[in-house]
Structure 1
Amino acid sequence: MIRRGVTALALMLAAMTLPSEAHDYKAGDLQIDHPWSRATVPTAKVAAGYLSIKNAGEEADRLVSVESEISERAEIHEMAVNAEGIMTMRPLSQGVEIPAGGSVSLEPGSYHLMFMELNAPPKEGERFSGTLHFEKAGSIDVEFAVEAMGAKASEGDHSGHGH
């Protein structure tokens, strides 16, 4: 009996000292899952940010703006293929709606955040802070985990919902 208690205590202490790979945040009915970015070259002027947002509420909400410590400006963007088959990127001045009971993924090749006029390039293995502003849920401070330059989805996300 004592041995089992000591083993359980040792496992709890070990779990408390391990760094957490996934990092999630909550704002009202919204859950923000694993904000991340890619490392950039030192001379880069822009970087992108990604995350997913789940809305457990009965009303839609909207991500209306974003700020970050690494950039002078930040915008919400969308990449899409136009009628001529050309990939285009445009800012979404109205933000992104998160439907009631639904979710939205900001991921490479789709909706994403653009950090512009970088103060410092994001470096792999580091984190930087940002603030997401929602129409109804208000503002929430998050940290973006910086992945490798070529990351297609967050390497640290093991949640299975494929950013």
Structure 2
Amino acid sequence: MTPALLTRAVCALFLFSAPLAAEGIMVDDAYIRSSTAKSTSGAAFMVVMNHSGADDRLIGASSDVADKVELHSHTSDDNGVMRMGEIEGGVAIAADDMHAFKRGGDHLMFMGLKGPLEQGAMVPVTLEFEKAGAVEIEVMVDQDRKPNHGKMKHDHGDMDHTGHEMPKD
């Protein structure tokens, strides 16, 4: 292993072992997946913690790797069919509280991917909050992450993903 590669590996280890923080907002356990190299969409999952001392709201996200990033959630209709769609008005995160963006629930949906997301790559993402403003994070592409990471469970079951390609487990 070359010294430069060793330095990168140590930096990456440090990045992934500590939550990312800015303006009292912390992000932990962040990763992004896409289904194939030809995918036009992908999803990111993470835990967002608000240690700012004031209630805040995540109102949007963006990244240079996609045309658009939306806050999405899965909902069930009266027939038990799961549908995915944009979260209107954003996600409230009270002071000293957190919100999990996890498989089968709320997530960041990357639409119009501009290229393949390669295993191990770091994806720059900007989270936009009403009060904290723009929070820059780096999210690792991890195609191998199991659905029960961080004790979170996911089941694609009868979900209707019309118009969206969803990551395969």
Smaller-chain TM-score range? 0.7 to 0.9
Tell me if the contact between 1:107 and 1:153 (Cα under 8 Å) persists in the aligned partners. Answer: no
Q: How does 1:14-163 map to 2 (within 5 A)?
A: 17=10, 19-20=12-13, 21-148=16-143, 151-152=146-147
1:76 and 1:114 in contact (8 A); partners too: yes
Asked whether the equivalents of residues 34 and 43 of structure 2 are also in contact (C-alpha less than 8 Å), the reply is no
Query: Contact 1:40/1:123 (CA < 8 Å) preserved in 2?
Result: no
Ranges in structure 1 where 5+ consecutive residues have no aligned partner: 1-13, 155-159
TM value normalised by structure 1: 0.78
Aligned to 1:4: none
In 1, Cα distance between the equivalents of 2:27 and 2:47?
Answer: 6
The TM-score, its normalising length taken from structure 2, stands at 0.75
Matched letter for residue 57 of structure 2:
R
Moved more, 122-131 or 102-111: 122-131
Using the TM superposition, name which of 121-130 and 23-32 deviates more: 23-32
Give the partner amino acid of 1:17. Answer: V
| Identical positions, percent | 26
Which SS does the other structure have where 1:19 is aligned?
Answer: helix
RMSD: 2.4
Q: Secondary structure at the match of 2:12?
A: coil
Shift of 1:92: 1.2
Range with bigger deviation, 112-121 or 93-102: 93-102
SS of 2:92 mapped into structure 1? strand
Tell me the secondary structure at the aligned position of residue 58 of structure 2. strand
**The residue matched to 1:125 in structure 2 has which SS?**
coil
Q: C-alpha separation between the residues in 1 aligned to 2:79 and 2:117?
A: 34
CA contact under 8 A between 2:63 and 2:124: conserved in structure 1? Answer: yes
Aligned partner of residue 53 in structure 1, secondary structure: strand
Amino acid aligned to 2:19: D
Instruction: Give the residue type in structure 2 aligned to 1:143.
Output: E
Q: Report the Cα offset of residue 60 of structure 1.
A: 1.4
Compare 60-69 and 140-149 and name the one that shifted more: 140-149
Instruction: Tell me if structure 2 keeps the 8 A contact 1:80–1:109.
Output: no
